[in-house]
Structure 1
Amino acid sequence: MPVDVQPYRTRRFTDWSPLAALGALGILAIAVVVSPFLSRRLLNTTVQVSPEETTRLEAVQPRGGLGALRIDTRARLPKNTWLTFEVQVFDSQNNLLASGIKQAWRESGIWREDGESGTWSEQDLKGRFDIRRASIDQPITLAITVLEQGRTGGQPLAQPVSFEVTVRDGVIDSRFLWVGFFGVLVIALITSLAVGKSGRKVVSERANDSDVAGRATLGGADKLVRVNIDVISDETSPRELQAHLIIKDGYGEQIYSRRLSVPLTFRREDGKIDSAKGHVSLDLVLEPRGSYGFSVEVMPDGPVDYTYLAVKEGVRTLQPTEIIRLRT
């Protein structure tokens, strides 16, 4: 029976989902790197605010484009004091756009333990909030109010407090980019693993010898068939073995034969070669769908301890692959 044997390279069986995930991963990586350069500083000043008073800062004009308006504040406090302050944002008509309340504190002291001593210091002085850019289309004004103030020991305190204020426009919160980056990375890994394990195993034969064979109904123009051959051999193995693969049709007639090189990886124990493992695969398209037999003979057969033959159909690949089409 004449057999048409055609080797060619094709993208037909490529699964693009891992590549799409990697593309999205690249876009997110670029966004993480570029995002700090997209923002613009509108205001950077220091203002002093008296207790229970409100101090307004100069008006600033946000620009259009991507990102949010970010307001950062840092209170300058003496040791062992605290305060509660409010930041408000007004538009040009004095309408309140947003506000935030922050309790800032700074503590320090001396610790003693087992005859040793030292100093400690803790603080939380910074406040930050972002405003969606879509809600701002005109100049804005910031106002800071000191609501409460005191010492950590409970004593009252009433003195002016200095605040460092920075306003930036076009800010992109990189925390969400990093969450997206790692989320897409997980998806890329999962889809890659899924592609690697794709296909239905139709032949699974093993033998403690150099010869193994199996038969199954498989194939079709739209099914990629992968033949996997795994070999375990002893310490006398050469650097590579030869696997003689024969494929027969439903009538037992040979339609394809090929010798495949099986490179070996040697396992050492106490500095000596203990055993070797090898793997080789071949991608095929078998037409028409039907019963096909596969047999493998590994040579030289002397060192071979174990041979495993697995045939899967419906395999997907991560990239264009070299295949052999057999048409009877």
Structure 2
Amino acid sequence: MGFSTHFEVALRTKSYIKTFQTHDISDIDVFGYRFNSDLSFFTIGSECKSGDTGALEELFKFVGIVDYYNLDRGYLIKSRIHQNAREVALKNKIRCITESEIRQILLGQDFDIDRQLRVENAKYLKYINALKDFKKADEKLVEYISLDYWNREDWKNIHNLLHILNFPKQSELFDKKAITVNEKIIFYRVAELFSIAVLKIISDAMMLNFSDISKSITNMLYGGAESLNEKRKIHDLVSQATKSDAEFEPNWQGEFLNMSFRFSQHTYASAQIPALLQLILSECFYSNKVKIETKHVEKFPDLTRKYTQDIMQFLANNSNLNPEIFKDFMII
């Protein structure tokens, strides 16, 4: 279907009753996304359930998840789904499908579903093990990319990821030992998540005012014109009170705007950056090495490769990341 995927995407909400608290309310078993050639963003989510009963109750819960997360399409996958659940699903942009129906759909497409399931499970286990291993070194980054990222606005994800990557712990991490494959897996995933947030605010900026895209991107980088105006006012008041001459814009903003402008001028190529990063993560990481060959990227426009390298270079330039992390891809 051409979607990049993530598994077990947690949905969270927050409350403040005496203390600030975060609550995990549910999750999306399989979350898929795709950027179209105009940078419009399309999302799907799948709820995978076992058993032969209870489909209607599970569907009603999933309808809430689809609405809460604003998914474009939902799939309820279960071994048996009663007709009344299918009738409700039809009116709520959700498709009900059983395992036997999936196999029927894939019949004749030269697709071995059992083999592919084993492959996907192995890939997911490799990523989970990398998260567990890296969590010992940097719990904050692991928590953010596996939980918080999916529940934050895109502009906040850009600021927050760069803030976390500039945390002193990152430089300490790379001073101690050689970079492991698991560490590379984590930071290639960070590059993918960062690219999603970048492309989504560029997409919004193009809709806002494509003729003055740089100013539109600046607005989107702070949550919109009103939010940007309020943040500038607060910054000015704090500067006056503290007699500080600190700049409002972060030191990476100029490079970010330059990179984003180039992405907006060639949307067909830039739209494929996250897909390329997922392919690299899926096909090129082994237990003891990373091996990226030309054949892994030849399906994509050459400009996609260059833009992906721009994302990596931007992260290396504006954080405590060791540039060696992305060397395997940068030398292609």
TM-score range, shorter chain: under 0.3
Name whichever structure is richer in helix by fraction.
Answer: 2
Could you state the TM-score of these two structures normalised by the residue count of structure 1?
0.16
Could you state the TM-score of these two structures normalised by the residue count of structure 2?
0.16
Name whichever structure is richer in strand by fraction.
Answer: 1
Relative contact order higher in (CA < 8 Å, ≥ 6 apart): 1
